[in-house]
Structure 1
Amino acid sequence: MIGYEPPTALPRDLLERADMRAAIAAHDFGTVFSLARSEAKISYSKIATECDIKPNRVGELARGQGSVTTFEKIARIADALRIPGHMLGLAARDWEAGVPAVDLRGEDVRRRKFVKAAVGGGLAAGLPVLTRPPVGRRIGSDLPRQLRERTARLRRLDDILGGGDTYPVYVSEYQDTKSIIRDYQHTEATRQGLLSVLAEQAQQAGWAAFDAGRSGDATSLYKASYMAAVEAQDPALAGNALAFLAYQSVNRQDGMETATRSVEEAGPEAPPSVRALLNERLAWAYAVAGCGTECERALEAAGAALAEADDTPQPDWAAWVDATELQIMAGRCWTELRRPLRAVPVLTKALNSYADAHARDKSLYLSWLATSYLHAGEVEEAAKVVGRALDLAAEVASVRPRQRLNPLIEQLHPHHGLSAVADVLEKASVA
């Protein structure tokens, strides 16, 4: 409320400090707690009470042990400390003027207004509801750009949350854009732009569905994305839709054929990040099928595409692909091909620089490192890595980490006499 600051509200000058802003942007709440205690004199016990976290957990986070990854806990912490939504990458914007829709600096701005909707944990509350004209009125030509920017901001949620949290948000955005295309007048150029956004949103929703274990929904969304991208004459997005379908395929031959089509569909004129992404996924399809030579050739193509990258803006949906991601994919491929001498070094190096804040992805990637250790007969090292992956995956709304880790845990059971294995088996039993 205006004129009232509870004891746990972070002072505005502290919120504006570069180290605090960086910690919040990375969802490094351990550093936030540490700075709150040292600079604002807010005790860990007070933080624990207001943020609904056990006191010892607050201390562990402040010492860099673990991370906060569930939406409910992130929202609770941000509410208690009065962290505004724009600091988490969810600033509301006015659709017409392209400026903040509310004064983010006001004392009465509560974080939940930006990231918590009343129904279904709607994480899109950080963005304004689109104010639409009456049905039949013409949509402005700038709307596709605005929707694409909105989609890019929402995509950041996937960095820290699992598909179980993000799927309702992403599929709602997709359905809203479908209704805009259906119900409002627009020029052909605007329609083409809207269809391109629709294809992007369908892929985003499909990925969340896949991550949440809703494979049927994911397949339907990927197919709808492909159709929209083709109609929009957007070959890069069409290729990416096929790559998603290939990644989800359980049939090795179908996966290779679809992944090959994805690269061909995007074509040689696609942005470098897109070609790198699609060739990465092609390499994965080859690795799963046991085709080592073809896999290595695709990885080299992905690396060559990345090397072409310059200052030209890349599509947001592919901009996350970098040298570290390529290393991780290479390590995963070598693991699938049962070549631990190649897999372990590259995965170890890449994961050493991979932030724990990306808990779902890091736990998944660690599962491939553990698999390679098992291939090499290094059971104790595998157990240690599985334990780390279990810690990271514990609070993420994604089915995939545990799906990957359960078979590894079964393989560790015969070695329960080793202390490292016994420890991880106990951890797995209560996880």
Structure 2
Amino acid sequence: MTGYEPPTALPRTLLDRADVRAAIAAHDFGTVFFLARAEAQISYSKIAAECDMKPERVGTLARGHGSVTSFEKVARIADALRIPGHMLGLAPRGWETPAPVHRALARAAHVSDADGDELRRREFFKASAGVGLVVALPELNRPRMGGRVGSDLPERLRQRTARLRRLDDVLGGGDTYRVYLGEYEATKALLRDSTYTEETGRALLSVLAEQAQQAGWAAFDGGRHTDATGLYEASHRAAADARDNALAGNALAFLAYQAVNGDRQAAIEIAARSCATAGPSAPKGVRALLYERLAWACAVAGLAAETERALAAAESALAEVDDAPQPDWVAWVDRNELQIMTGRCWTELQRPLRAVPVLETALAQYDDTHARDKSLYLSWLASSYLHAGEIEEAAAVTGRAFELSAEVASVRPRERLNPVLDRLGEHRALPAVAAVLDEVRI
């Protein structure tokens, strides 16, 4: 990238202006695009081409609608407009520093180029207060290679993993995968290169299993399905070796969730095995989650009675009076989340009279800050409206889902919404539908 000067590079005189610097610091790229065209005669079409965006999207941002929050897109804009990394909360970009110097700095910091990407992401996360993201991660005193691991380290690693999991609330797997994978690889190296007691070793394996699931989920969310499968399988092995039945069951549930779009019977069998592996003594949140995943596998396969039984088992688990602490990785499983899964299942079974009221009620209580998940859940509501013949309602919900997912680094919302758009296309003659189709297909 060093020898290439894009046609969209902002003039230094513009970068030095106070209003431009303020807009850049605030990640207000709409204002930056507007000023680039007004002051430097850089067209929106050129900006779109260099930033890998659609011209209409650039124009919409320039008119003050929408925002850019994903790491990849911010980095791409920085490179296209030649905005120095420090102005955006990023490390210096490759074109700012000659490649040999960049590599030397990386070696001096004892990180590889890939690790450098991860560090830039972390710096970006810290700078991205506009996304509402706050993650405080204390430094860990990891033992030197071959050193002795204290009995307290697994719990500290688990707490760190729990804090990192909060990234998934606001960012997609495309943004979190490298961070989660780095944590998994660091713990794997710790297990391989350090010494510890048998009990500490089992605890470290349990943490490793949890981290593998977290990285696998990010891989799945970012469209890296082969990576996800490998991480889920590695998680299952680690959890089994740690004798952590709950995590072993959850690893199988992840594999089942991934398999539902392929061999549906196999997905049901894996999901049923996940429930049996965790067993009746697993925490209630774990059992509820695994039965939800079983219900989903049954619904996708068109098995209504089996779906209903699994949902009832999940509800029964959640209803138990039990004050025992639940694993952090099931903290999001509550009654509202179960209602959303119930609505999704009835949507898959094409029972809109059951699905719509449940989804409407549950999603009214679901905060927009969980943009990726809410956009996904709205896609099932839109599908149910279509099944019920409520075309205008389906169009409105689809538009809202696209609005929420616009800058989330996840492949799943678009994958879910594309079939909905195809079905809406049959009703383009309706003004409400035409407006949404014109907006989201730009």
CA distance in 2, matches of 1:296, 1:66: 40
Q: Partner amino acid for 1:186?
A: Y
Partner of 2:25: 50
Distance 1:283 1:158, change over 3 A: same
Which of structure 1's runs of 4+ aligned residues deviate more than 6 A?
44-47, 65-68, 72-76, 79-82
Q: For the structure 1 residues 67 and 297, does the alpha-carbon distance in structure 2 shift closer, same or farther, using more than 3 Å as the test? A: farther
* Residues 74 and 321 (structure 1), Cα distance of their counterparts in 2 relative to 1, 3 Å cut: farther
Give, in whole Å, the separation in 1 of the partners of 2:25 and 2:304: 54
Q: Which amino acid aligns with 1:52?
A: H
Amino acid at match of 2:374: K
Matching residue of 1:337:
349
Cα drift, residue 204 of structure 1: 0.3
1:313 match: 325
Supply the distance in 2 between the matched residues of 1:165 and 1:303 (Cα, whole angstroms): 33
**1:211-250 correspondence runs (5 A):** 211-249=221-259, 250=262
Deviations 1:72-129 (A, max 9, x none): 79999xx9999xxxxxxxxxxxxxxxxxxxxxxxxxxxxxxxxxx8524654565355
Please report the RMSD computed on the Cα atoms of aligned residues, expressed in angstroms: 2.7
2:154 to 140, 144, 152: 144
Percent of residue pairs identical: 64
TM-score (norm 1): 0.75
Which residue of the partner structure matches residue 70 of structure 1?
A: 70
Q: Please give the residue correspondences for 1:368-407 in structure 2 after superposition, counting only pairs within 5 Å.
A: 368-407=380-419
Residue 166 of structure 1 aligns with which residue? 176
Alignment match, 1:31 = none
How far apart, CA to CA, are the structure 2 residues paired with 1:245 and 1:418? 41
Code of the aligned partner of 1:305? A
Structure 1 contact 195–229 (Cα < 8 Å) conserved: yes
What pairs up with 1:32-431 in 2 under 5 angstroms?
48=23, 50-53=25-28, 54=30, 69-71=69-71, 118-120=116-118, 122-124=120-122, 127=137, 130-249=140-259, 250-430=262-442
Question: C-alpha deviations, 1:209-245, integer Å up to 9, x for none?
Answer: 0001011110010000000000000000000000000
SS in 2 for 1:268: coil
**Structure-2 separation of matches of 1:151 and 1:141:** 17
Q: In the aligned structure 1, how far is the partner of 2:378 from the partner of 2:189?
A: 41
CA contact (8 A) 1:69 1:357 kept: no
Q: How much does 1:353 deviate?
A: 1.0
- For residue 344 of structure 2, give the secondary structure of its aligned residue in structure 1: helix
| C-alpha spacing 1:172/1:49, structure 2 compared with 1 (3 Å) | closer
Cα 1:256–1:373, aligned 2, differ >3 Å: closer, same or farther? Answer: same
Retained in 1: the 8 A contact 2:72–2:175? no
| Alpha-carbon shift at residue 392 of structure 1 (Å) | 0.6
Which whole-Å CA distance do the structure 2 matches of 1:273 and 1:309 have between them?
Answer: 12
Distance in 1, matches of 2:348 and 2:157, equals: 39
Q: Is the 8 A contact 2:27 2:68 kept in 1?
A: no
Letter in 1 for 2:148: R
Q: Say whether the 8 Å CA contact 1:71–1:165 is kept in structure 2.
A: yes
Paired position in structure 1 for 2:10: none
CA contact (8 A) 2:24 2:32 kept: no
- Is contact 1:331–1:342 with CA below 8 Å preserved after alignment? yes
Contact 1:286 1:295 in 2 (8 A): yes
Question: What's the TM-score, normalizing by structure 2?
Answer: 0.73
Secondary structure of the equivalent of 2:147? coil
Q: Does structure 1 conserve the Cα–Cα contact (< 8 Å) formed by 2:24 and 2:88?
A: no
Counterpart code for 1:160: V
Q: 1:197 to 1:253 in 2, by over 3 A?
A: same
* 1:245-292, Cα deviation, whole Å (9 max, x unpaired): 000002110010000000000000000100010010010011011111
Does the C-alpha gap of structure 1 residues 316 and 66 become closer, same or farther in structure 2, counting only changes over 3 Å? farther
Residues 340 and 67 of structure 1, relative CA distance in 2, 3 Å threshold:
farther
Change over 3 Å in CA distance of 1:202–1:216 after alignment to 2: same
Name the counterpart of 1:89. Answer: none
Counterpart for residue 14 of structure 2: none
**Unaligned stretches of 5+ residues in structure 1:** 1-43, 83-116
Aligned-partner Cα distance in 2 for 1:350–1:342: 13
2:98 aligns with none
Whichever residue aligns with residue 335 of structure 1, its letter is: T
Measured after TM superposition, the shift of residue 300 of structure 1 is 0.8
